[in-house]
Amino acid sequence: LFAGPVEFLKGVVAMQGLPSADRAEVCFAGRSNVGKSSLINTLTGRKALARASNTPGRTQEVNYFTLGESHYLVDLPGYGYAEAPVAVVAKWQALLKSYLQGRSTLRRAFVLIDARHGVKAVDEEILTLLDKSAVTFQAVLTKADKIGARDRDKVLEQVRAALQKHPAAYPELVMTSSETGDGIATLRAIIAGIS
């Protein structure tokens, strides 16, 4: 689906470090532990791609991956962990804001939501920032294997309702599991279709 290498390119800590804006770019956002690294690995078919570039406790970086030569996949640090020092959070939020508002080739943000929990208050902050930045976002539910069919319907309904008040929300939701591979081909095709 993606012609060319799928690999970790670099971790970026300031806007000046971004690679040249020469292709379509999508970013992944989500609260800590939502399953972001697992999803990136499953999506790319590379077992340790995301984990390899992710050093917990270090400066929070914006991690760039290549999806062939046509797309960049950008892994944003997980939000919502209580232990992060105030100064680190503030610096990160400033970079996030500059990135979302200033990256001309950013086509869509995928916001990962744990299927067991739905949209939480901590997610609302980033959704509002995406609205303000006019970055279209699409919700991706993760860990679908952890709940039954009835609860899946329920969470889809909750997420749909929560997204109603966000003008930047893309209406189609994707339910995924990195464990079973559910929804992965769909998500891959969605990304490949973005230009």
Number of neighbouring beta carbons within 10 Å of residue 9: 15
Number of residues that bind ligand GTP (CB under 6 A): 17
Binding segment for ligand GTP among 13-21, 28-36, 83-91, 163-171 (CB under 6 A)? 28-36
Q: For residues 97 and 15, what is the distance between their CA atoms, to the nearest angstrom? A: 10
Number of residues that bind Mg ion (CB under 5 A): 3
Instruction: Work out which of 6, 38, 138, 168 binds ligand GTP, going by CB under 6 A.
Output: 38
- Please tell me what DSSP assigns to residue 13: S
Instruction: Work out which of 18, 29, 34, 184 binds ligand GTP, going by CB under 6 A.
Output: 34
Q: For residues 115 and 113, what is the distance between their CA atoms, to the nearest angstrom? A: 6
Chain CA centroid to CA 177, Å: 15
| Least distance (Å) between residue 20 CB and ligand GTP | 27
44 binds ligand GTP per the rule CB under 6 A: no
Instruction: Work out which of 26, 34, 35, 37 binds Mg ion, going by CB under 5 A.
Output: 37
**Touching ligand GTP, residues 141-170 (CB under 6 A):** 142-143, 145-146
Binding segment for Mg ion among 2-10, 48-56, 117-125, 180-188 (CB under 5 A)? 48-56
| DSSP annotation string for 32-100 | TTSSHHHHHHHHHT-TTHHHHT--TTS---EEEEEETTTEEEEEPPPB--TTS-HHHHHHHHHHHHHHH
Q: For residues 178 and 171, what is the distance between their CA atoms, to the nearest angstrom? A: 22
Identity of the amino acid at 157: E
Residues that bind Mg ion (CB under 5 A): 36-37, 54
Residues contributing to the site for ligand GTP (CB under 6 A): 30, 32-38, 54, 78, 142-143, 145-146, 177-179
